Amino acid sequence: MSNTNIHEWTLLEAAQNIREGKVSSREVTKAILDRISELDPKINSYITVLPEDAMAAAAACDEEQAKGSPLGPLHGVPIGLKDLFCTRGIRTTCGSRALAQFVPPYDAAVAEKVRSSGAVLLGKHNMDEFAMGASTESSWFGPTRNPWKLSCIPGGSSGGTAAAVAASLCFAGVGTDTGGSIRQPASFCGVVGMKPTYGRVSRHGIVALAASLDQAGPLTRSVADAAALLEVIAGHDRRDSTSVNLPVPDYLSATKKPVTGMRIGLPKEYFEIEGLDSGVKAAMERVLKSLTEQGASVVEVSLPHTGYAPSVYCLIASAEASTNVARYDGVRYGFRAEGDQGFAEMMSKTRAELFGEEVKRRIMIGTYALSAEHYDALYVKAQKVRTLIRRDFEEAFQKADVLLTPTTPVTAFPPGEKTKDPLTMYLVEALTMPCNLAGIPGISVPCGFSEEGLPVGAQLLAGSFREETMFAAAGAIERAIPSPRVMPALRVD
Amino acid sequence: MEFEAVIGLEVHAQVSTKSKLFCACSTKFGAGPNENTCPGCSCVPGTLPVLNRKVVEYSIRTALATSCTVQRKSVFDRKNYFYPDLPKAYQISQYELPIARNGHIDIEVGGQGKRIGVNRIHIEEDAGKLVHEGDLSGAQASLVDLNRSGMPLMEIVSEPDMRTPEEAVAYLRNLRDILLYLDVCDGNMEEGSFRCDANVSIRPKGQEKLGTKAELKNMNSFRNVERAVEYEIRRQIELVEDGGKVVQETRLWDAEAGVTMSMRRKEEAHDYRYFPDPDLLPLMVEDSWVEELRGTIPELPGPKIERLAGQYGIPKYDAGILASSRKLADFFEASVAIFNGAPKTTANECVHWKEAILSEKLSPETIAHAVEDRENGTISATASKKLVTAVLETGKPFRSLRDEKGLTQVSDTSALDAIVDQVLAASPKEVESYRGGKTGLLSFFVGQVMKESRGKANPKIVQEVIRKKLG
C-alpha cells in the first residue's frame, strides 16, 4: 500500500488500516511526525512534540499486535491533546508562563482513556493562555496560525488542536470547550468539533478555566471520528463530582441514522445577530436545504435570553477563572519574580509578570464580580439569568429535536483585528456560549467555504445527553456537503 | 456604669476520620513533612475535590447531639485569600448554606443551669502549615508542610449567649465532652484538633444592642481561653471607662505576657469573595439517613449526669466527674452491676482510679471487689488501696492478691479482745483521761490496736470493742 497519503486518512481509517495490518503504527506515526517537522514551524500548533515517546509507543503497539493481544479501538493511531490535559511525566503548560515548566505527577482521565484505547500520543497542542481567549494569540508559546490562511487566526482556545487536525498533524485531538473553545476553532479551521453534555466527560486532570462550564470533547476530520473518539473519552469518573453516571451509547451508529421526521429548530435570535457574514448565512441555507431534502422538518424557535449570554458568560467564567488561577502565586510551579520583601510583594510581582493581558482582564472582572459589594448585583444575577437561558433551551427542545445555527457569525480573521477590543472578541463566541451555560451538547460541522475560501461551520445543539440525535443530524450534513479531502493550502496572502 | 460582657465562641474541631476531607490521604498526626499529601491536597492543577462521606456522617451526628437542625441542602463555597500555606489560594468551606443550624448546648456554672445557642455547624478543609527557618522576624526562608492541608474540620459557631469567662469554658468543656462521646473528634487542644476563637464585646448592663466585638485567637487550652476572655473584658471596660472606643479587630492572645494584642483591624479584613465551588455539587442529605444516624447517638453527658445521680443515688457532682468521660461512666456502671451495695463508694473509687481506668489498666471487677470487700469489712480502706495498686503492678486478680498477701481484716471480736486488752494495759494514763471525759482519745486507742494488728484489724469493730471495755 502506498503510504504517501497516510495523512489524508480519517481517524477511523487509520485505525482500521493498522488493525488490518495494512500499515504499522510506526509507519503511520513516523509519517505524521515528519509532517509535523515539515509544516508545524509555519502553523505552531504544538507546544510539545514527543517524537521519541511516540515512536516508542508505536513500536509497543506493533509488538502487542504481533503477539495477538486484544486491541483498543484506536490502537496505534497517533493523536494529540490540548496542553491542559495533565499528562504524567510530560510538561503540561496550559499555554502559560506560569506552568511553562510544570510536569504533572498524574494523567488526566482523558489522557488515561486515550492511552488505554491504544492511541499514540504525539504531543500537546497550543492554546490560549489558561484557555482564556478565542484566537490562540495569547499563548506564551506564540500564536497558532490557521492552516487555510496563515495570516488568519485559527480560533481558540483549542486553536492548536483545530489547526493540527485540519493540517493533518494528527488524526484527531481532544480539546476543551468553556464558551465555544472547541466548536469555534473547529469552525474556523474546517474540522468537526464537539462539546459533550456537561458531566459526560471527566474533568479530572484538566487544568480548569471555569469548572461549571468546562467540558472536554473531540476535534476530528469527520463526524464518525468525533463519535468514535467521544466513545473513548466519555464515561463516569468518581474523581469528578460533576461527572454523570450514565452508560456511554453507541455514538458511531448514531451518525449513520436517517434524519427523516427530525425536527430542526432555527433559533431566530441566532440569525438576527449583528455582523452575521453573508457567506455564513448562505452556507446555513445550503445546510437547511440538505436536511429537509433528507426528510427533516424545520421549525422556528425562540431563545429570548440569548442576548444576555455574553455578559452572563463573562461574569461567571471570569469569577470562576479568577480563583482557579489564584494558585499561581510564586510559591509553587517554578516561576517567581525576583527582588521581593516578603510574601505579599513576592506574590504581587510574580503575578504581575506571570499573566498576559487577557488573563489579567478576567482576574479583574472575576474578582470584582465576587467582591462582597458587587456579588449580588453581578454574580448572583448572572446565575439567575443563566437559569433563564437554560429554560429557553428546555422550551425550544419541546418543539425541536436539534437546533441549527451558525457556529460563529464570521469566518477566520487576521490576528489583532478583533482581539484589540475584548467585547468584539466575546461576540465571536456569542453563538457558542449559551450552550455551555445550559450544559447541553453542541457540535460544529464543516459546511463549505466563504467566498474568501475560508471554512464555515454549522452548529447543532441538542438537549442534555441527546448526543445521538445531534450526531445523526451532523452525519446527515456531512453526507450532503462532504468536506472535499483537500488539505488546507497553508496560503500566506 | 456597670458593664456586661457578651461572648460567642467559634470552635474548629478536627473530624477524626481516617482520610482527609477531599482526598484519600491519611489524617494521622506526626508524619514527616509532606508525607501525608497527594496531588489532590497539594492542589496540583487539574485535581478535583471528592467529598468524604464519613465527614458528613460525623457532622450530622454532631448536629444531632447539639440539637441542631440538619439542612437537607448545604453548599460548599470557595473562600478566597492568598497565603503560602493555602495551595489553591482558596479554602473550601460552607458559607451561606451550612450542614446544620439552630442547636444548643446546656451548661451549668455555680449551680445555675443555662442554655447556650449553637448558631451553625459547617464543614471545611484545613490549610497547611508554615515552618520558618530561624525565628520568624529574621527567617531566611519559610517551608510549607501540607500534611494538614485538606484535613476535615467542623466549625461549630455558638450564639453570643455567654456572659462570663466561666460560662465560656463550661460551654467549651461540654462541647468537647459531646464530641468525645460521639467519637467524632479527639479533642486534643495542644495538637490543634480542638481550637477555639472567641468573640468578645461589652455593653452597659440592660442594653440590648451588642457592642463592637474583638475576635480573640491563639488560645490552646481551656485555661488560656478563660484568661484571654477575662483579660479582654477588663481591657474593653477600662478602655470605655477612659473614654475610648472598642474597635472591631482580631487580637492574638499572648499566654506568656497574659495580654491580647491587635493583629488586624476591620479595615484590613479580607474580602473572601465567597461563592459556591463549581467543582462540588450541592450536598443533599436524605431524611432517612439523618434518622438512621439519630439512632447511633449515645446517651450524652448532660442526661447521663441526671440519670447516674438519680439511678444510683450519688451526688450530682460525682455523677458529673464520672460522665466527663463515656468510658469512665460505663466503667462505673459495669462495676455497680457486679456489686451494687455502695454506689457512692464505687463512684469515689472510679474517680480515684480515673487515670488507670481510662488507660484500661483496671477491670470493673477489681473496683467492684475492692468496694465489696471494704463494705463487708473483709479489708480496710488502706488495704483496698494497696491491693488495687498491686493489681496494677502485677495484673493478678484482686481477690487472689488479697488472700496471698493476707490483707484480710480481723473483724472477729474475740480475736481482737487480747490486742485491745494489751493496748489498754500499756496506756494506763490515757485510759484514766478517757474515763475522765477525754473521749477524743478513742482514735488514739484505735490507732494503737491497728498498729499492733499490723493493719489487719477492722477499725470499726475495734472502736466498738474499746468503747465496751472502757464504758
Measure the CA–CA gap between A398 and A59, rounded to whole angstroms.
51
User: Does residue B51 belong to the interface with chain A, where contact is any CB pair within 8 Å?
Assistant: yes
Residue with the three cell numbers 468525533:
A226
What is the dihedral angle through the alpha carbons of B448, B450, B455, B456, rounded to the nearest 10 degrees? 140
Q: Which cell goes with A430?
A: 456569542
Residue B49 pLDDT grade (very low, low, confident, very high; cuts 50, 70, 90)? very high
Tell me if B48 and A241 make a contact (CB, 8 A cut-off).
Answer: yes
Strand order in the sheet with B76-80: B90-94, B76-80, B275-276
pLDDT for the residue B435? 87
| Structure-block grid coordinates of residue B257 | 505576657
CB pairs under 8 A between A and B: 95
Calculate the dihedral angle through the C-alpha atoms of B331, B335, B341, B346, rounding to the nearest 10 degrees: -50
Say if the Cβ atoms of A375 and B90 lie within 8 Å.
no
What pLDDT was estimated at residue A268? 95
Q: Is A379 in contact with B275 (Cβ distance < 8 A)?
A: yes
Q: Which amino acid is at B355?
A: E
pLDDT for res A484? 59
Q: Are residues B391 and B374 in the same domain?
A: yes
pLDDT digits (tens, 9 = 90+) for B238-274: 999 999 999 999 999 999 999 999 988 876 778 999 9
For the stretch B394-406, pLDDT in tens is 989 998 888 887 7
Closest CA to A176 of A153, A158, A162, A150: A158
Q: Which residues contact B326 (CB under 8 A, 6 or more apart)?
A: B180, B181, B298
- Closest Cα in chain A, distance from residue B92 (Å): 12
Best probe of the A interface among B34, B43, B47, by most A CBs < 10 A, is B47
- What's the confidence (pLDDT) of residue A493? 57
Cβ atoms within 10 Å of A406's Cβ, excluding its own: 26
| Residue with cell string 477524743 | B440
Place of cell 469512665: B328
**Domain shared by B280 and B320, yes or no:** no
3-state SS track over B50-102: CCCHHHHHHHHHHHHHCCCEECCEECEEEEECCCCCCCCCEEEEECCCCCEEE
Is B178 found in the same domain as B38? Answer: yes
Tell me if A347 and B51 make a contact (CB, 8 A cut-off). no
Is B44 an 8 Å CB contact of chain A?
yes
Are A106 and B83 inside 8 Å of each other by CB?
no
What pLDDT does A485 receive?
Answer: 60
What CATH number has the domain bearing residue B457?
1.10.10.410
Instruction: Give the residue from B155, B162, B282, B138 showing the smallest Cα distance to B213.
Output: B162
User: Chain B residues with CB inside 8 Å of A326's CB?
Assistant: 80, 82, 88-90
Q: To probe the interface with B, which of A127, A201, A316, A323 has the most B CB atoms within 10 Å?
A: A323
Reply yes or no on whether the pLDDT at A380 is more than 80. Answer: yes
The residue among A24 and A330 whose pLDDT is bigger is A24
Probe site for chain B from A331, A355, A379, A437 (most B CB atoms < 10 A)? A331
Report helix, strand or coil for B199. Answer: strand
> Chain B contact for A102, CB < 8 A?
yes
Residue A441 has pLDDT above 80, yes or no: yes
Whole-number Cα distances in Å, A16 to A13, A72, A255 = 5, 11, 18
Number of neighbouring beta carbons within 10 Å of residue B209:
6
Higher pLDDT, B439 or B293: B293
Task: Establish if B408 belongs to a structural domain.
Answer: no
Residues B233 and B209 reside in one and the same domain: yes
> Residue B292 and residue B295: Cα distance in Å, rounded?
6
CA distance A182 to A176: 6
Q: Are residues B88 and B179 in the same domain?
A: yes
**Any residues with CB less than 8 A from the CB of B304 and at least 6 apart, and which?**
B319, B323, B329
- Tell me what percent of the residues of chain A surpass a pLDDT of 70: 97
For chain B, the first-to-last Cα distance in angstroms comes to 67
The 10 Å Cβ neighbour count of residue B147 is: 24
Q: Which three cell numbers stand for residue B21?
A: 476531607
Amino acid B246 reads V
Residues B201, B91 share a domain: yes
- Contact yes or no for B230/B236 (Cβ under 8 A): no
Specify whether A82 is catalytic: yes
Residue B406 located in a structural domain? no
Cβ within 8 Å, pair B46-A347: no
Furthest C-alpha separation in chain A: 71
Q: What is the pLDDT of residue B465?
A: 85
Report d(CA B373, CA B385) in Å as an integer.
Answer: 12
B286 in contact with chain A, both atoms CB, cutoff 8 A: no
Separation CA B152–CA B133 (nearest Å): 28
Candidates A289, A248, A255, A249; CA nearest to A472 is A255
| Residues of A in Cβ contact (< 8 Å) with B145 | none
Say yes or no for a CB contact (<8 Å) between A323 and B280: no
Q: Both B288 and B313 in a single domain?
A: no
Please tell me the distance from the alpha carbon of residue B462 to that of residue B411, in angstroms, as a whole number.
8
User: Quick one: average pLDDT of B432-460?
Assistant: 84
* Residue A151 known to be catalytic: no
Which pLDDT band holds residue B378 (cuts at 50, 70, 90)? confident
Domain boundaries, chain A: 6-255+443-480
Question: Cβ separation of B278 and A211 shorter than 8 Å?
Answer: yes
| Cell numbers describing residue B112 | 445555675
**AA letter at B417:** D
Cβ pair B84:A331 closer than 8 A: yes
Report the pLDDT value the prediction gives residue B406, as an integer from 0 to 100: 73
Q: What is the pLDDT of residue B363?
A: 95
Please judge whether A379 and B80 are an interchain contact, meaning their C-beta atoms are less than 8 angstroms apart: no
Query: Which of B:235-264 have CB within 8 Å of A?
Result: none
Q: Give yes or no for residue A194 having a pLDDT over 80.
A: yes
Pairing of strands B100-109, B69-70: antiparallel
3-state secondary structure of B436: coil
Complex-level ipTM? 0.95
Q: What is the DSSP string of B224-240?
A: HHHHHHHHHHHHHHHHH
- pLDDT higher than threshold 60 for residue A2: no
- Shared domain for B143 and B285, answered yes or no, is yes
C-alpha cell at B408: 484480710
Question: CA B458, CA A17: separation in Å to the nearest integer?
Answer: 103
Q: Which residue has the cell 468537647?
A: B176
pLDDT tens, residue by residue, A218-252: 999 999 999 999 999 999 999 999 999 999 999 99
Give the closest-approach CA distance of A204 to chain B in angstroms.
Answer: 6
Q: Grid coordinates 468584539 are at which residue?
A: A424
Supply the pLDDT for residue A486: 65
Highest mean pLDDT among A344-348, A360-364, A482-486 belongs to A360-364
pLDDT tens by residue, B385-395? 989 999 999 98
Q: Flag whether B407 is in a domain.
A: no
More confident residue, B446 or A160: A160
Q: In this structure, are B174 and B207 located in the same domain?
A: yes
Do B367 and B464 reside in the same domain of the chain? no
Q: Region A2-6: what's the mean pLDDT?
A: 70
A181 is catalytic: yes
Q: What is the count of structural domains for chain B?
A: 3
pLDDT tens-digit readout, B448-466: 888 888 777 777 788 888 8
Residues A283 and A288: their CA atoms lie apart, in Å, by 9
Domain boundary among B238, B267, B292: B292
Task: Flag whether pLDDT at A419 surpasses 70.
Answer: no
Q: What is the pLDDT of residues A268-319, one digit of tens each?
A: 999 998 888 999 999 999 999 999 999 999 999 999 999 999 999 999 999 9
Whether B39 and chain A come into contact, CB under 8 Å, resolves to: yes
Query: A24, A45, A82, A149: which is the annotated catalytic residue?
Result: A82
Domain that holds residue B429: 413-470
Decide: helix, strand or coil at residue A475: helix
In the prediction, which pLDDT does B136 show?
Answer: 59
Give helix B316-323 / helix B301-312 axis angle, nearest 10°: 130
Q: What sign does the CA torsion over A116, A117, A123, A125 have? A: negative
Answer whether residue A1 shows pLDDT above 60: no
Domain boundary among B371, B401, B431: B401
Does residue B282 share a domain with residue B161?
A: yes
Residues B274 and B371 in one domain: no
From the list B246, B35, B272, the residue with the least C-alpha distance to B148 is B35
The Cα A92–Cα A126 span in angstroms is 11
Tell me the chain A residues in contact with residue B275 when contact means C-beta distances shorter than 8 Å.
Answer: 319, 323, 370, 375, 379
Q: What is the mean pLDDT of residues A251-261?
A: 97
State yes or no: pLDDT of A198 exceeds 60.
yes
Edge-first strand order for the sheet with A172-177 is A46-49, A120-125, A78-82, A172-177, A215-220, A192-195, A442-449, A455-462, A402-406, A263-267, A297-301
Q: Is residue B212's pLDDT more than 80?
A: yes
The DSSP secondary structure of A137-150, one letter per residue, reads -S-TT----BTTBT
CB distance from B58 to chain A under 8 Å?
no
Tell me how far apart the alpha carbons of residues B254 and B236 are, in angstroms, rounded to a whole number.
17
With a cut of 70, say whether residue A481 has pLDDT above it: yes
Q: Pick one of 3.30.1330.120, 3.40.630.30, 3.40.50.11900, 3.90.1300.10 as the CATH number of A6-255+443-480.
A: 3.90.1300.10
What is the pLDDT, as a whole number, of residue A492? 61
pTM of the shown model: 0.90
More confidently predicted of B30 and B413:
B30
**Chain A residues 320-339 within an 8 A CB cutoff of chain B:** 320, 323, 326-327, 329, 331-332
Task: Quickly tell me which residue has 468525645 as its cell.
Answer: B180
Tell me, what's the pLDDT at B89? 96
Domain limit, last residue, from B274, B292, B310: B292
The mean of the pLDDT values for chain B is 92
| φ and ψ at residue B415, rounded to 5 degrees | -70, -30
User: Which of A144-148, A190-194, B373-377 is predicted with the least confidence, judged by mean pLDDT?
Assistant: B373-377
Nearest Cα to Cα of residue A122 among A235, A220, A35: A35
Q: How many CB atoms lie within 10 A of CB A105?
A: 11
Q: Can you spell out the DSSP letters for B326-378? A: HHHHHHHHHHHHH--S-HHHHHHHHHHTHHHHHTT-S-HHHHHHHHHHHHTTS
